[in-house]
Chain A
Amino acid sequence: MSPRAPDDARRQFLLRVLRIGAASAGTIGLGAFLGGRSRRPEEGAATGLGRDHAVAANAALPEMVVAQGPSPQLLVQKAIDDIGGMSRFVSAADTVLIKPNIAWDRSAEEAATTNPDVVAELVRLCLAAGARSVIVTDVSCNDAESCFARSGIADAARRAGAEVVLPDTRHMRQVDLKGGTLGVWPVLEPFLDATKVINVPIAKHHSLTGVTLGMKNWYGIIGGNRSRLHQRIHESIVDLAAFARPTLTVLDANRVLMRNGPTGGGVDNVEQRNTVIVSTDQVAVDAYAAKAWWNLDVPRLRFLQLAEERGLGRTDFASLRTHVLQV
């Protein structure tokens, strides 16, 4: 070991003091900074309030179109055409969210999920109207990948040019739904980011509400422990419908699940109705379908009554300007 000059030792000492000083200052600073950040953990603030996606009414055009015929694709085409064409609802600046029912791991024939041809045709019409992008998504009950694949919707929508988004729990935002029953719930981001929203439910039987139609389909935009909603199902349906306010409702009733809903299983529960209903009034669609195929009246369906009281639409569907088309 070589002897060191005294000033070298001094320099070493000073350097050491500096290092220790810097390290202490850093530690104290970081500690103080992190200490100041200490707060009781809270849920992230709720953001992104609901918007009304509806377009202006037009007295010259029908408010509801009931199209009947064998080809689901044609039914959608003609019905949309009749209600003013897709360009009435979708323009070049729009990001359109199409929300079918993809809740269950069932094939299209079992009528537990929306008809893929209906979804695909809507995608094509939106793109033809110049939409910037079209997103198809739903928060499934069964495994999402399987539901999206088996229903045929993922494939059909992709081929028509849509972006198919699997519902990822990490892509939910906490939103204050401002309902009487539903407060802050996680909502799927693509829904919050969309400028136009088209609800594409399928008509099905349901043991609690009798039917599950358009407004109940909004269960599929939220995450969380949804199975609690059934305790006040009518109120939660209406809270969601008030939050969602779609541009259009396109009810798929080509195949109707008459029994054993909403999961179905087997084709013997399914009846051919060859119908698509398009309307700007989400309440009227539900009232019409409940009456048409289950003979359920408004007094039996509390969610319809509540929805009308909230001003979401009219249960008296006969008062709407309605066209019935045979396609």
Chain B
Amino acid sequence: MRGTTLRRLRLASQITFFLLFVFLLLRTEFPGSVRSAGADVRVPYPVSLFLETDPLVALATALSTASLYRHLLWAVPFVLLALIVGRGFCGWMCPLGSLHHFVGSMKSERKRGPKLLESNRYKRWQSAKYYVLTVVLVMALFGSVAGLLLDPLSFLVRSMATAVLPVLNYGLRASLDWAHELPLGPARVGVSGVATVLDATVLSFRQPHFHQALAIGLLFAFVLVLNMRVTRFWCRAICPLGAMLGVVSRWSFVQLQKHDEKCNDCKRCELHCQGGDDPIPGAIWRKAECHLCMNCLGDCPEGGLSFTWSGRPGKQTRETPQLQRRAVVTSLVAGAVGLPLLRTGPGVKAAGDPLLIRPPGSVDEEHFLDRCIRCGDCMKVCPNNALHPALFEAGVEGLWSPVLVPRIGYCEPNCTLCTQVCPTGAIWEMTVAEKIGSPARMAPDGTVQQPGRDPNRIGTAFYDRGRCLPWAMGIECIVCEEWCPTSPKAIYLVPAQVTDATGQTKTVRQPYVEPKRCTGCGACEFACPIKGRPAVYVTSAGESRSKANQFLLPENQPLQRS
């Protein structure tokens, strides 16, 4: 096949996979309808598909948990794919790679004429990504996949979900509102039409707000803008998934053949090279850097370059990444020392932040950190905008892992969407029945027919009586009790005589919490009419996932290890 045809095919593939990615990300939301009454609401598409087919996610979580969660086995075909076509994924499929490709193709003063050729030559700093990969994997081996912050798919999902889409939503809504106010006369129908289309496709019903959105958004923009200096800097120098595929690519079949006799040294093959892998005759082709974008084939007017499936490397080929032994050792040590250093802080064990409320179904914190890749899918899917990227609530190591902020959104009892989309089992998949729990069923003779099951708790509600209307000011309220979704309600009211400022006595209902019923969903905190710091608030105390974070003595069973 001719180079230009291959290049068009690649472009078509990039567009297809990017659109598929965006479609799945947009559908990572409440599906809008319930299949049948009483049935659990489920996301209708495999919305975490890209993350579940990511070989780096699979490898890192396999190292940290010695297992593969649910659909992560789907990453295996992608490893096999890399054994055939090397880093073809980077050039043809990766949605973040395609974005970099797109931005990197824009005109830039830094990359003109000879500067562009020079910029596209192989650079030693491209090895950095292999050291990044080493650190990520060593940390995974020590039980933390925090390094997957840099996984390209995790990076893209998180950035899109918590920054790009909310920005888009805000901007489009503001523009539509503005357009609605224009004196357009009958042309207003057009504005309404546009609004309808946008509503049905990209706009969400409620503007999402996320903690950390600014930092995540700026980082995303920065990484994209880097392409104006060096084409696909991220892919060449940082991306640990690219590095992993690069390592695997040494066994792959596809080989670049340089036909030196046809070369007239025009250097056009360097013009649009994505990987910085030196396809130019006279230099060594770096197989581990090549994205198989096919640009060099299309650009060569003499037909001096071709790819073969023989597996036999051409004369000027280096199949393995070029690494420095010292740097490898340094990154091994960095990973091995870095994680224990992070863990010596108070984050994981010593004194957990009371506001570190994890999503329902989350596994114990230690295991959470060896699974959570910070992709933000749970934050995107939550219909209540309850989940947010953490700052230091879970220690430095827990940066951008999900934390529930009840003041912004509470956890709806009959919703399990976040447990369905989590690709790695940090939030373990759960049914609504498991989440809500069930009371014990008793036979008529008083024996237990079926033992009850505790609900999944993410924390417990506590009162700040100094701010609570009936407690502090003798004013009737009960809103927390009204919103409490458990049955029977975890918040109960006790009538109390209070004296108001004029000396008159009156009766108000004062709220209490029954901790055995409370699931920590945060509906009370969300609804509390005291704005700002609420009079009822949830902390992680009593969360189901932790054996240690308990304050009640369990009934009817010998005390377990604390």
Chain A positions within 8 Å of B, measured between CB atoms, are 104-109, 141-146, 149-150, 152, 154-155, 166, 168, 170, 206-208, 225, 227-228, 230-233, 259-260, 262-266, 268-269
Known: A230-B477, A260-B489. A142 touches B37 (CB 8 A): no
Interface pair A263/B484, CB less than 8 Å apart:
yes
B488: chain A residues within 8 A (beta carbon)? 259-260
Across the two chains, which residue of chain B brings its CB closest to A105? Answer: B412
* Residue of B469, B482, B486 touching A206 (CB-CB under 8 A): B482
> Which residues, 469 to 507 on B, are CB-close (under 8 Å) to A?
469, 475-479, 481-489, 493
A268: chain B residues within 8 A (beta carbon)? 487
Q: 27 A–B contact pairs at CB < 8 A?
A: A105-B414, A105-B415, A107-B38, A108-B37, A141-B483, A141-B527, A146-B30, A146-B41, A146-B383, A149-B41, A154-B33, A155-B34, A166-B205, A208-B478, A208-B482, A208-B509, A227-B527, A230-B479, A230-B529, A231-B476, A231-B529, A233-B476, A260-B489, A262-B482, A263-B484, A263-B487, A269-B487
Across the two chains, which residue of chain B brings its CB closest to A206? Answer: B482
Cα–Cα, bound, A290→B16 (Å)? 61
> Which residues, 239 to 287 on B, are CB-close (under 8 Å) to A?
none
Cα–Cα, bound, A108→B34 (Å)? 12
Cα–Cα, bound, A211→B383 (Å)? 30
Interface pair A145/B32, CB less than 8 Å apart:
yes
Cα–Cα, bound, A60→B446 (Å)? 58
Cα–Cα, bound, A168→B180 (Å)? 15
Interface pair B487/A266, CB less than 8 Å apart:
yes
B541: chain A residues within 8 A (beta carbon)? none
Known: A149-B32, A227-B529. A207 touches B493 (CB 8 A): yes
* Residue of B205, B478, B528 touching A207 (CB-CB under 8 A): B478
Cα–Cα, bound, A225→B41 (Å)? 29
In the assembled complex, how far is the CB of residue A66 from the closest CB belonging to chain B, in whole angstroms?
A: 27
A265: chain B residues within 8 A (beta carbon)? 413, 436, 485-487
20 more CB-based (< 8 A) A-B contacts, given A104-B485, A146-B41, A264-B487: A105-B412, A142-B412, A143-B30, A143-B412, A145-B30, A146-B412, A146-B415, A170-B177, A208-B482, A225-B529, A225-B531, A227-B479, A227-B527, A228-B529, A230-B477, A231-B477, A263-B484, A263-B485, A265-B485, A269-B487
* Residue of B32, B414, B469, B527 touching A231 (CB-CB under 8 A): B469
B384 in contact (CB, < 8 A):
yes
A264: chain B residues within 8 A (beta carbon)? 487
Residue among A109, A208, A227, A260 with max Cβ neighbours from chain B (10 Å): A227
Known: A144-B205, A227-B529. A109 touches B33 (CB 8 A): no
* Residue of B173, B205, B436 touching A145 (CB-CB under 8 A): B205
> Which residues, 382 to 421 on B, are CB-close (under 8 Å) to A?
383-384, 412-415
> Which residues, 4 to 43 on B, are CB-close (under 8 Å) to A?
30, 32-34, 37-38, 41
B509: chain A residues within 8 A (beta carbon)? 207-208
Residue among B32, B37, B493 with max Cβ neighbours from chain A (10 Å): B37
In the assembled complex, how far is the CB of residue A259 from the closest CB belonging to chain B, in whole angstroms?
A: 8
In the assembled complex, how far is the CB of residue A107 from the closest CB belonging to chain B, in whole angstroms?
A: 5
Across the two chains, which residue of chain B brings its CB closest to A107? Answer: B37
Interface pair B489/A230, CB less than 8 Å apart:
no
Across the two chains, which residue of chain B brings its CB closest to A142? Answer: B412
Cα–Cα, bound, A58→B529 (Å)? 44
In the assembled complex, how far is the CB of residue B116 from the closest CB belonging to chain A, in whole angstroms?
A: 34
Known: A152-B37, A155-B33, A168-B205. A230 touches B482 (CB 8 A): yes
In the assembled complex, how far is the CB of residue A296 from the closest CB belonging to chain B, in whole angstroms?
A: 17
- Interface of B (DSSP majority class): loop
Across the two chains, which residue of chain B brings its CB closest to A261? Answer: B482
* Residue of B34, B482, B528, B531 touching A150 (CB-CB under 8 A): B34
Cα–Cα, bound, A10→B244 (Å)? 71
Across the two chains, which residue of chain A brings its CB closest to B414? Answer: A105
* Residue of A155, A206, A208, A262 touching B476 (CB-CB under 8 A): A208
Across the two chains, which residue of chain B brings its CB closest to A262? Answer: B482
A228: chain B residues within 8 A (beta carbon)? 529
In the assembled complex, how far is the CB of residue A305 from the closest CB belonging to chain B, in whole angstroms?
A: 17
B32: chain A residues within 8 A (beta carbon)? 145, 149
A170: chain B residues within 8 A (beta carbon)? 173, 177
Across the two chains, which residue of chain B brings its CB closest to A264? Answer: B487
- For the complex of A and B, 6 pairs with smallest distance between CB atoms: A265-B487, A227-B529, A227-B479, A266-B487, A143-B383, A208-B478
Interface pair B41/A150, CB less than 8 Å apart:
yes
In the assembled complex, how far is the CB of residue B463 from the closest CB belonging to chain A, in whole angstroms?
A: 16
A106: chain B residues within 8 A (beta carbon)? 414
Cα–Cα, bound, A142→B485 (Å)? 10
Interface pair B529/A263, CB less than 8 Å apart:
no
Known: A206-B482, A227-B528, A228-B529. A152 touches B476 (CB 8 A): no
B469: chain A residues within 8 A (beta carbon)? 231
Cα–Cα, bound, A262→B32 (Å)? 24
A263: chain B residues within 8 A (beta carbon)? 482-485, 487, 489
B487: chain A residues within 8 A (beta carbon)? 260, 263-266, 268-269
A231: chain B residues within 8 A (beta carbon)? 469, 475-477, 529
Interface pair B33/A149, CB less than 8 Å apart:
yes
In the assembled complex, how far is the CB of residue B324 from the closest CB belonging to chain A, in whole angstroms?
A: 54
In the assembled complex, how far is the CB of residue B432 from the closest CB belonging to chain A, in whole angstroms?
A: 10
In the assembled complex, how far is the CB of residue B261 from the closest CB belonging to chain A, in whole angstroms?
A: 53
Cα–Cα, bound, A225→B177 (Å)? 23
Cα–Cα, bound, A260→B469 (Å)? 22
Cα–Cα, bound, A207→B484 (Å)? 12
B484: chain A residues within 8 A (beta carbon)? 263
A262: chain B residues within 8 A (beta carbon)? 482
Cα–Cα, bound, A109→B36 (Å)? 12
B384: chain A residues within 8 A (beta carbon)? 142-143
Interface pair A149/B412, CB less than 8 Å apart:
no
Cα–Cα, bound, A307→B362 (Å)? 50
Cα–Cα, bound, A146→B30 (Å)? 7
B414: chain A residues within 8 A (beta carbon)? 105-107, 150
Cα–Cα, bound, A193→B537 (Å)? 39
Cα–Cα, bound, A106→B41 (Å)? 12
Across the two chains, which residue of chain A brings its CB closest to B173? Answer: A170
Interface pair A230/B383, CB less than 8 Å apart:
no
In the assembled complex, how far is the CB of residue A313 from the closest CB belonging to chain B, in whole angstroms?
A: 25
B493: chain A residues within 8 A (beta carbon)? 207
A143: chain B residues within 8 A (beta carbon)? 30, 206, 383-384, 412
Residue among B478, B482, B509 with max Cβ neighbours from chain A (10 Å): B482
Cα–Cα, bound, A240→B116 (Å)? 70
